[in-house]
Amino acid sequence: MAKVAGCEGSLLSLGDELTCSICLCTFDSPVTIPCGHNFCQDCLLATWKETYTCPQCRTNYSTKPELKKNTVLSAVVETFKVRSKSEADVSVSEMAEGATVTGAAIRCDTCMMAEAVKTCLTCMASYCPEHLRPHRDNPVFRVHQLTEPVGDVLERICPDHHKLMELFCTQHERLICTLCLQQVHKTCDFIPPEQQRTKQESNLRQKLGFLDNKIKQNETVISQMRDMQLTLKGSAKIKKLAMAQDYERIRDMLATEERAAMILVDQELESTQTKLRVLIKRFSENIDSLNKAKVDIQSLLGQSQTMAFIQASINLPKAAAFDPYAPRINFSSKKLAATEEFAVNLKKQLCYILNQPVDARPPLTKREAKIQPEQPINSPPLEAKPINVKANKMTSQKKQNKPNPLQEDSKERLKKMSRSMENLLASGGKPRPRPNLTLMHSEPKEKIETMDRPDNLTAEKRHNLVKYGTALCFDPKTAHKRIVLTEGMTRASVSDQAIPTTHDCPERFSICSQVLASQGFTRSCHYWEVRITNSNLTGIGLAYGSIDRKGPTSRLGRNTQSWCLEWFQSKLSVWHDSSEIVLVNPNPKRVGVLLDCESGSVTFYNVTDRAYPFYSFVFPFTEAVYPAFWIFSSESSISLCKLQV
């Protein structure tokens, strides 16, 4: 046996020789290469990527050597592993026993000196070999239950019956003795303590597993939240960049508008200076002619010859008959006034919006149908959806033919500034395509575009419009001589013959059979409805009070002062500034008109059971606008309806 033990000791001393030089662990599937060195197969193959070199002696091989398992070394390694494990288990056992002996030695309950070797669970005492002899020699003690020394014997004693608690009551969850089972716990279920320990160990392991799972879940959530932090930081950076670009665009637009306004003031100043220079030159020429006449008179007065003096005659220049005056020249251009008013209104609008909390500010855009115009600020809560889907294309074509902005007339400049204001407030600085409903070109357009009602056009509830209802009546002072007004100035028709009038008012239309309403509007929202009989050669629209009443351009829509929806034969179209857009004719019997003075828009509706918007104009108001009507056919008539919710 001593020899075997010596062999085992010598084998265990070979641990360094049985270790792989690559992984520094005991060989696993050892292989031998031609140079004689041994390595784990997986470790060696991991080092051979491009070249084949021995990791220990650095011998280089041109081709990959054939690897063969070292069976002898494998057997030695397996034996080494088994015996190393056995030795480790023995060492652990000895350490545990040594710890028990040295740390918690159980003494004999009889002599209290020697170390106990057994514990009697019947006597509930521990004994040394000397005092244990009666339990081994005397047959009386043979029925006693002996066990290894137990240090907590007193804790296993039942406090009521002073007997060993050998059972576990599952109902009361406590240890009990046999007498407890016969008395208090006779109806209870019981199990051995070892079985209860097994159950509790299983329960604790389940709790450990549950806690591990919860810990992993919390760690996963923390990881997700950290990822979310990074994502939010990235999103915040992108949003800040986008908003910075938007505000930079707004600043650029305002700077452009400011430069244009300054240039306009300089142009107006140059225009007034030119007028004054012309007048100064003219008066200077008058002074020269008057001085010349003065010299001639003085020369004549110095004539000494009486006959020559009498026969001479001097005529005063024409300038002498003119009383000089200093004309009053100021900045009275409508273009400059509109520019100044635009700047003031823009300031008011921005102050009104920016002085409110962000969540209480009025919406600047409406993100619904693509053909729907964006809702202007302070406009009524209606969904006016124009069907002029080609107006933007038409306007963009006109823009290409425009002159330099510095050379535009007042009408073009005003409309361009209004459009810039609308884009600034509605798009937040981002240019976006939208129907340009202001027909800007002042020359007649021969190109006519047609368009259809979109399929997704939704009707408007009529009561949303009627709440802005306004009662109207015709103004007889503006009615053409062929127009007959009846039913309390609410019905207009055309007579074949001119109607005699007591006097000819300057407000009366003299060429076109048109009439205005008696009331004009400059603020708020207004809505009215018109009933049409035989919608042929009739028109409904708006006009400034300054519209021409006598000239050939006084017809609605053929000038810059009016906007018109017109039926001509079977064709329905809209007109402004001699520009025509043809619409699909729904042959309406009742037409509603919504005027929003605050946003500068007017929308026409086909009113049946609901109100269907089929066209909108957007234009700046520079003065009061009046409802206007054109009737040419004697078979047609227009009646102003009384609105009821």
Query: Which tokens go with 381?
Result: 């809560």
CB 498 within 8 A of CB 509: no
H or E element in which residue 83 lies: helix 71-103
Query: Which tokens go with 627?
Result: 């409802």
Who contacts 235 (Cβ-Cβ below 8 Å, separation ≥6)?
Answer: none
pLDDT of residue 555: 92
- The full set of domains in the chain, from first to last, is 2-103 (3.30.40.10), 194-332 (no CATH), 449-640 (2.60.120.920)
Residue 495: how many other CB atoms lie within 10 Å: 13
Q: Report the alpha-carbon distance of residue 38 to residue 67 in Å, rounded.
A: 10
Q: Give the tens place of pLDDT for each residue, 607-643.
A: 988 888 888 888 877 788 999 999 988 888 999 998 8
CB 515 within 8 A of CB 485: yes
Residue with token string 């884009």: 423
pLDDT of residue 244: 95
Residue with token string 């999103």: 235
Q: Report the alpha-carbon distance of residue 423 to residue 253 in Å, rounded.
A: 10
Q: Taking Cα atoms as reference points, which of 639, 579, 271, 601 lies closest to residue 449?
A: 579
In the three-class reduction of DSSP (H, G, I as helix; E, B as strand; rest coil), residue 578 is classed as: coil
What's the one-letter identity of residue 254? L
Q: Report the alpha-carbon distance of residue 428 to residue 407 in Å, rounded.
A: 28
Which residues are registered as beta bridge partners of 501? Answer: none
Q: What is the DSSP string of 439-490?
A: ----S-----EEE---TT--PBPHHHHHTTB----B-TTTS-TTEEEETTTT
Q: Report the alpha-carbon distance of residue 83 to residue 98 in Å, rounded.
A: 22
The values of phi and psi at residue 165, to 5°, are: -85, 100
Handedness of CA 473, 475, 476, 478 (dihedral sign): negative
pLDDT of residue 447: 38
Sheet holding 167-169, edge to edge: 174-176, 167-169, 190-191
Residues of the chain with pLDDT under 50: 1-12, 91-92, 95-96, 98-103, 366-411, 413-414, 416-457
Q: Is 375 exposed, middle or buried (0-12, 13-18, 19+ CB in 10 A)?
A: buried
In the three-class reduction of DSSP (H, G, I as helix; E, B as strand; rest coil), residue 62 is classed as: coil
Report the b/e string of 35-48 with b at 16+ CB within 10 A.
eeebbbbebbeeee
- The residue length of the chain stands at 645
pLDDT of residue 7: 45
**Pairing mode, strands 190-191 and 174-176:** unpaired
Query: Which tokens go with 210?
Result: 């549950």
H or E element in which residue 525 lies: strand 525-533
Which residues are registered as beta bridge partners of 617? Answer: 602
pLDDT of residue 645: 56
Sheet holding 611-618, edge to edge: 483-486, 491-494, 637-640, 525-533, 590-596, 601-607, 611-618
Q: Report the alpha-carbon distance of residue 577 to residue 558 in Å, rounded.
A: 5
**Pairing mode, strands 514-516 and 625-631:** antiparallel
Q: Is 564 exposed, middle or buried (0-12, 13-18, 19+ CB in 10 A)?
A: buried
Q: Report the alpha-carbon distance of residue 484 to residue 550 in Å, rounded.
A: 19
In the three-class reduction of DSSP (H, G, I as helix; E, B as strand; rest coil), residue 540 is classed as: strand
Q: Give the chain's end-to-end CA distance (angstroms, integer).
A: 118
What's the one-letter identity of residue 44? L
Q: Give the tens place of pLDDT for each residue, 193-236.
A: 888 889 899 999 999 999 999 999 999 999 999 999 999 999 99
